[in-house]
Structure formats: structure tokens, C-alpha cells
């Protein structure tokens, strides 16, 4: 099932739809799925034949997976050329931003045209619903303010984490060419940052359906979004300098990340991304209640936004230090 879901989008979407549908029916008390599942699982204990059902499902999945591998073995399938209708978009309205506008146009085209980047955008949309585990009270263990902060960071920061952590790996195919040109690292970094900021703002607006669970719930998301813009956006760009994994834009695999991207530096940068916002809210909440907690969390983001030029210069230095290691890593892609 994992193989099929990883290689066939419709299988993945079907599984997602089934589980989302069951969760929705259970949450809104339309249908209690445990009535069915309890009978099914008790049947393994009470009968001699219920075990045949999972065995039959296994057999069907085995046949389906075998056929998938068999059909994918033909070389003609991979060698056959695709006939697509060519489309061009100039995005001339970005020319006013100079060199940074050029980078923005390249990023927008990259996202629109490539399978991996499209999958990343789809994954970031799914993050919008991550907060339903924490914000709705459905799970009592997560019905705590600090867990809501944790969820808020992901709800508004789906694109930030899925796209931002792989800067500059998105440009690995032509990164050596870029580095041979007379370009400013600051403009390159700023273009990625603004793309992340815009995506975070859009995610925050789309997440307005959390108002259904109360204004306090949406305030968590707004405060988390401001923190993402003013703090986490820099951290993911900084972490990207240490992730030297080239990306295959034609493949949708590993949309959440690559095991090669894990190292001690990126692990240490995870602490301020996730734990620091929780700590900031707890401090404010402990001193004067939830309102101050929101203000402290959002205030950290506002301060970070105000000093963005200073932060960009520091990130630029790191990128320059790691430049040749990154170029070497991209040349050794397998």
C-alpha cells in the first residue's frame, strides 16, 4: 500500500479522503465508526474465518503492486517522449523589483512547471488542517495552549517548512551557472524570503475557517504566522545553507524531505523554530494571561521583521562560506 500510495497520486488521495471522511463523521457525531471496527476486530477472536479478510486484501494489494512494477519495467515507457502544449508567462510586473524580481519570476515558474514543487505546494495546503488535531479539543491530551502554539506554527508555515528548508536546493540543477554570474546573494535570499512571506500570509487567510472554533483559536494562528514571518523564515533559509541535497524537479517523491538533509546543524535550528515560540507564549501567558502570550509571540516576529536587512547580511555570510561545499555536493548528484 505504501508503494502504491507513493507512486500513484490517486491512491494517496483516496486514502487521505477515506481517513478524512471517517474523522469528520466521527468528530461531528454523524456516524460512530467504532461500531463497525469493534465488530471487525472482535471477529478475529470470536471466529475462525475473519482472518481471511486481511489475507485477501493483502493478496489483492500484492497483485496490484506486482502489476505496477511489471508495467514500469518496460524501457519504452521511460524513453517515450511527452508531447505537451508549451505555455509562457513573462510576469513582467515583477520587473520593477530588479534582480530580486528576476529570481521571483524563476521561482514562480519553477513551482508552476515542475512535479516536485507542485507536490510541495499540495503538502503545504494539507498543513492547513493540521491544527484540527490540536485546536478543536478532539484529543484531550493536546488541548493545552502550548500545543495550540505548536499547531499554529505549522498551520501558517506549511509552505515555509516544505519549500523554505530546501533553499537553495531547488536551484541545484543550475546553481553552478548562477554562481558564475555577477549576482548578489542578498537579492537571491530576499526573493526566497518574500515568496515564503506571501505564502504564509495566504495560508493565514485560508486558515480563517478556524474562527469556527473561536476567536482565541484564530489568534494563535495569527500570532504564529507573525512569528513565522519574523523568525522562522530566516531560520529555514539559514538551515538551507547546510542542506546540500540536490532536488529532482521531475519527481514528486520525498516532498517532506530527504534523510540526507538531516544533520546536527539543521537539528539545532529546529529548537527555535518549534520550541522557542511555545516558550514565548508560556512566559507571556504565565505573567498576564493569553493576551500577553499572543503579544509576546507576535512581538518576536515583528522585531525580527524590523531587523530583516541585518539578518539577511548574516545569512549571506553563511551562504558564501558554504558556497563551494554546496557546489561540490550538487556536482556529485546520483
What does the pLDDT read at residue 23? 83
More confident residue, 171 or 75: 171
More confident residue, 253 or 184: 184
What does the pLDDT read at residue 31? 82
Same domain, 146 and 216: yes
- Picking from 227, 236, 53, 68, the residue whose alpha carbon sits closest to that of residue 150 is 227
d(CA 324, CA 332): 13
Same domain, 181 and 324: yes
What does the pLDDT read at residue 264? 56
- Picking from 225, 224, 255, the residue whose alpha carbon sits closest to that of residue 118 is 255
d(CA 47, CA 208): 49
Q: Is the dihedral of CA 228, 233, 236, 239 positive or negative?
A: negative
Choosing from 50, 83, 116, the residue where a domain stops is: 83
Choosing from 48, 83, 118, the residue where a domain stops is: 83
Same domain, 74 and 113: no
Element (H, E) at 274: none
- Picking from 85, 194, 212, the residue whose alpha carbon sits closest to that of residue 137 is 212
Q: What is the mean pLDDT of residues 11-16?
A: 86
Q: Is 20 left (phi over 0), alpha (psi -120 to 50) or beta?
A: alpha
Same domain, 294 and 179: yes
The CB density around residue 270, as the number of other CB atoms within 10 Å, is 11
Same domain, 323 and 188: yes
Question: Three-class SS of residue 114?
Answer: coil
Residues of the domain holding 320: 90-331
d(CA 313, CA 142): 39
pLDDT digits (tens, 9 = 90+) for 42-54: 988 899 888 899 9
How many angstroms separate the Cα of 272 from the Cα of each of 231, 233, 277, 312, 334? 9, 11, 7, 18, 33
Same domain, 46 and 136: no
What does the pLDDT read at residue 256? 47
Does residue 324 register a pLDDT over 80? no
Does residue 334 register a pLDDT over 50? no
d(CA 52, CA 320): 61
What does the pLDDT read at residue 200? 92
Question: Average pLDDT, whole number, for the chain?
Answer: 80
DSSP state of 133: H
pLDDT digits (tens, 9 = 90+) for 214-228: 888 889 999 999 999
Query: If you write DSSP's letter for every residue of 84-122 in order, what string do you get?
Result: --------GGGGGGHHHHHHHHHHHHHHHH-HHHHHHHH
- Residue 328 grid cell: 561540490
Same domain, 61 and 98: no
- Residue 267 grid cell: 537539528
Non-local (6+) Cβ contacts of 192 within 8 A are 103, 107, 164, 167, 237
Longest Cα–Cα distance of the chain, Å, equals 74
The CB density around residue 42, as the number of other CB atoms within 10 Å, is 11
Same domain, 217 and 94: yes
d(CA 322, CA 242): 7
Choosing from 22, 52, 83, the residue where a domain stops is: 83
d(CA 119, CA 257): 12
Considering 74-83, 95-104, 167-176, 205-214, the range whose residues carry the highest mean pLDDT is 205-214
Same domain, 207 and 232: yes
139-153, 173-187, 274-288: the lowest-pLDDT one: 173-187
Does residue 318 register a pLDDT over 60? yes
Total tally of structural domains belonging to the chain: 2
pLDDT digits (tens, 9 = 90+) for 225-268: 999 999 988 888 888 777 777 666 665 555 444 544 445 555 66
Q: What is the mean pLDDT of residues 138-146?
A: 72
Same domain, 53 and 175: no
Q: What is the mean pLDDT of residues 197-208?
A: 91
Contact 189, 319 (CB under 8 A): yes
CA atoms within 13 A on the CB side of 254: 14
Its pTM stands at 0.67
More confident residue, 90 or 132: 132
5-14, 247-256, 306-315: the lowest-pLDDT one: 247-256
Interhelix angle 185-206/215-227, rounded to 10 degrees, is: 170
Distance between terminal CA atoms of the chain? 27
Same domain, 48 and 98: no
Same domain, 224 and 280: yes
What does the pLDDT read at residue 225? 92
> Which pLDDT band holds residue 295 (cuts at 50, 70, 90)?
very high
What does the pLDDT read at residue 245? 73
Does residue 13 register a pLDDT over 90? no
The CB density around residue 274, as the number of other CB atoms within 10 Å, is 13
Q: Which residue has the cell 499540495?
A: 122
Q: What is the mean pLDDT of residues 32-36?
A: 85
Amino acid at each position: 500500500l505504501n508503494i502504491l500510495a507513493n507512486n500513484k497520486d490517486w491512491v494517496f488521495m483516496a486514502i487521505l479522503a477515506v481517513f478524512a471522511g471517517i474523522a469528520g463523521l466521527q468528530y461531528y457525531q454523524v456516524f460512530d465508526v467504532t461500531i463497525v471496527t469493534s465488530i471487525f476486530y472482535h471477529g478475529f477472536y470470536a471466529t475462525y474465518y475473519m482472518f481471511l479478510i486481511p489475507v485477501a486484501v493483502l493478496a489483492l494489494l500484492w497483485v496490484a503492486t506486482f502489476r505496477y512494477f511489471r508495467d514500469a519495467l518496460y524501457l519504452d515507457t521511460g524513453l517515450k517522449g511527452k508531447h505537451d502544449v508549451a505555455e509562457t508567462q513573462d510576469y513582467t510586473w515583477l520587473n520593477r523589483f530588479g534582480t530580486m524580481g528576476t529570481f521571483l519570476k524563476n521561482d514562480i515558474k519553477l513551482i508552476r512547471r515542475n512535479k516536485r514543487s507542485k507536490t510541495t505546494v499540495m503538502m503545504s495546503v494539507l498543513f492547513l488542517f493540521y491544527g484540527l488535531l490540536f485546536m478543536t479539543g478532539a484529543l484531550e491530551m493536546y488541548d493545552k495552549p502550548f500545543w495550540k502554539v505548536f499547531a499554529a506554527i505549522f498551520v501558517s508555515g506549511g509552505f515555509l517548512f516544505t519549500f523554505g528548508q530546501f533553499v537553495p536546493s531547488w536551484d541545484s540543477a543550475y546553481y553552478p551557472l548562477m554562481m558564475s554570474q555577477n549576482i548578489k546573494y542578498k537579492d537571491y535570499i530576499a526573493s526566497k524570503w518574500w515568496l515564503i512571506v506571501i505564502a504564509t500570509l495566504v495560508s493565514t487567510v485560508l486558515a480563517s475557517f478556524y474562527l469556527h472554533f473561536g476567536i482565541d483559536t484564530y489568534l494563535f494562528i495569527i500570532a504564529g504566522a507573525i512569528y513565522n514571518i519574523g523568525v522562522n523564515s530566516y531560520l529555514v533559509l539559514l538551515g538551507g545553507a547546510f542542506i546540500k541535497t540536490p532536488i529532482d524537479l521531475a519527481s514528486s517523491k520525498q516532498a517532506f524531505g530527504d534523510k540526507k538533509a538531516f544533520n546536527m546543524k539543521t537539528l539545532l535550528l529546529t529548537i527555535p523554530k518549534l520550541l522557542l515560540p511555545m516558550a514565548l507564549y508560556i512566559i507571556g501567558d504565565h505573567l498576564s494571561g493569553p493576551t500577553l502570550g499572543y503579544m509576546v509571540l507576535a512581538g518576536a516576529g515583528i522585531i525580527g521583521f524590523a531587523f530583516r536587512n541585518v539578518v539577511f547580511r548574516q545569512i549571506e555570510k553563511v551562504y558564501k562560506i558554504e558556497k563551494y561545499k554546496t557546489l561540490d555536493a550538487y556536482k556529485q548528484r546520483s
